[in-house]
Amino acid sequence: MSTVVLIPLIAAPQTLSVTLVGVTYVLNIFYMDDPEAGWTLDINDQASNPIVCGISMVPTTNLLEQYDYLGFGGLLILQCGSDPNKVAAFEDLGADAQLYFLIP
């Protein structure tokens, strides 16, 4: 059975601290207003030292898949409403677009 954790977001650039599988991370989430960009995520350690930077928040994919070797212990997925192909617009984050951490 998997555990699903909702990471609460708002439709604005933000920095928040989250604890995932017993480890505290600082997430920087920002929007790049460009057709090829959109919402982007940086993951830092508790002291704000960068771990992974510039992750494009592509819906319905595991944002951490290529960083499995870092041992985050789960999947990070952005879900945009009922349309799996929808890209999150600025105003969607925290409303229609939700960020989830899934622990297998």
Dump pLDDT digits (tens) for 58-94.
999 999 999 999 999 999 999 998 777 788 899 999 9
Q: What is the pLDDT of residue 24?
A: 98
The model's pTM = 0.92
Residue 68: give the domain boundaries. Answer: 3-103
CB burial of 48-63 (b: ≥16 within 10 Å; e: otherwise) equals eeeebeebebebeeeb
Dump pLDDT digits (tens) for 10-64.
999 999 999 999 999 999 999 998 877 899 999 999 999 999 999 999 999 999 9
Residue 70 near residue 51 (C-beta atoms within 8 A): yes
Q: What is the pLDDT of residue 98?
A: 95
The token pair that represents 80 in the structure block: 């945009």
The whole-chain average pLDDT of the chain stands at 93
- For the chain, how many structural domains are there in total? 1
Residue 76 near residue 57 (C-beta atoms within 8 A): no
